Structures are given as structure tokens and as C-alpha cells.
């Protein structure tokens, strides 16, 4: 499955949240909430002595991806476009690949 196929399938369960503003608010809040759940699992593994639960992380990362897919659609963007835009930005920023030194000395776009 590619990113656009995923986005199309995700939209089948997106529901209707009303207008554009409500959809954008719903997805932004959901995306933040799910990212917080990912962070919580990492925190528990590194600071509370829990095992790193990869199954739970995959579930939460999937939820992050779902909200991202629905938000991108509301903004009339495909996930493939979002991904390509990000890769292009990173290629401009780090044409020779990432390194700590290049990160400290890069020019801002």
C-alpha cells in the first residue's frame, strides 16, 4: 500500500465533523493527543522502567498517521505530496545527508 492508498482508506472512517474549521481543529487536537500517547510510552520505557512496547507504539503511530491523513485531505493535500515536500526540503537542507556539524552550520531556508 502506498501513502495515497492509505489516505483513501483512512478517509472511510473519518466521519463528518462539520465545516473546514471544525475538521482542522478536530484533526489537530487528535494528532497532538496521539503524539502525546507515543511520547508517554517512550517516557515510561526510559524513565519508569517499563518495557518498550512496540505493539502499542505501532498502534499509536498508526493513530498519528490516521489524523495526519485526514488533516492533509481537509487541506486538499495528499499524503504523497506532504511526504515528497518534506523529502525535498530535507534534501535542500542537507544535500550531503544529515550530520550534527551540518545541522549546526546550515543556512535557514
On the CB side of 7, CA atoms within 13 Å amount to: 19
Tell me the domain boundaries of the chain: 3-76
Question: Is 3-76 a CATH 3.30.1890 domain?
Answer: no
Please write the tens of the pLDDT for every residue from 47-63.
999 999 999 999 999 99
pLDDT for the residue numbered 18: 80
**Which residue stretches of the chain have pLDDT < 50?**
none
Predicted pLDDT of residue 22: 94
76: exposed, middle or buried (C-beta count within 10 Å: 0-12, 13-18, 19+)?
exposed
Q: What pLDDT does 107 receive?
A: 73
Amino acid at each position: 500500500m502506498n501513502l495515497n492508498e492509505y489516505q483513501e482508506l483512512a478517509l472511510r472512517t473519518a466521519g463528518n465533523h462539520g465545516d473546514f474549521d471544525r475538521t482542522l481543529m478536530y484533526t489537530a487536537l487528535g494528532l497532538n493527543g496521539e503524539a502525546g500517547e507515543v511520547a508517554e510510552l517512550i517516557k515510561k520505557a526510559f524513565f519508569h522502567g517499563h518495557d518498550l512496547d512496540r505493539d502499542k507504539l505501532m498502534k499509536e503511530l498508526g493513530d498519528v498517521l490516521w489524523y495526519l491523513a485526514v488533516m492533509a485531505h481537509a487541506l486538499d493535500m495528499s499524503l504523497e505530496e506532504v511526504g515528497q515536500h518534506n523529502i525535498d526540503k530535507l534534501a535542500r537542507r542537507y544535500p550531503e545527508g544529515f550530520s550534527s556539524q551540518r545541522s549546526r552550520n546550515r543556512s535557514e531556508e
